[in-house]
Amino acid sequence: MHKIIQTTLMAALLAGTAAWATDNPATAKEAEAMVKKGVAFIKANGKDKGYAAIGDKDNKDFHDRDLYLAVHKLDGTAVAHGTNEKMVGKNFMEMKDIDGKEYIKERVDFAKTKTSFWTDYKFPNPLTKKIEAKTSYCERLDDTVVCGGVYKK
């Protein structure tokens, strides 16, 4: 009986947490701060540790509600992704959102001429599982671009 109550309470807590996160999405200011934290972490700890930390879903420094980081080389290859480790090592230069926008190509093009910028596209929200309008803050770091995005409501 105790195990049933414990399981029911845990399920309610997780459902409440998911609802809170969906009702309280991350802000643009939080995305910018997380990208800056990610860039600083990579600079201080090296690419291997930095990319591993970004890919670690339990690392709260780089995962907050619907906000996470992604890092791409300037050739479009993903080197770190906060919600889908299967993306790492694949080239997404020609990847298009639902409207046909090549948003990774846009990031790379911007990163070649700017040290920081915002870009808009549509992408699946990891909390709602729906494709939603998103804006990402990005910073160039050496031969990569580090981005963190928020979903527009």
Taking only the tens place, the pLDDT of each residue in 2-25 is 334 333 333 333 333 344 345 678
> Domain total for the chain?
1
Residues composing the chain: 153
Taking only the tens place, the pLDDT of each residue in 113-122 is 999 999 999 9
* CATH label of the domain that carries residue 134: 3.30.450.20
Taking only the tens place, the pLDDT of each residue in 52-104 is 999 999 999 999 998 999 999 999 999 999 989 999 999 999 999 999 999 99
Answer whether residue 142 is part of any domain: yes
- pTM for this model (two decimals): 0.83
For 102, the domain range is 26-151
Q: Is residue 153 pLDDT above 70, yes or no? A: yes
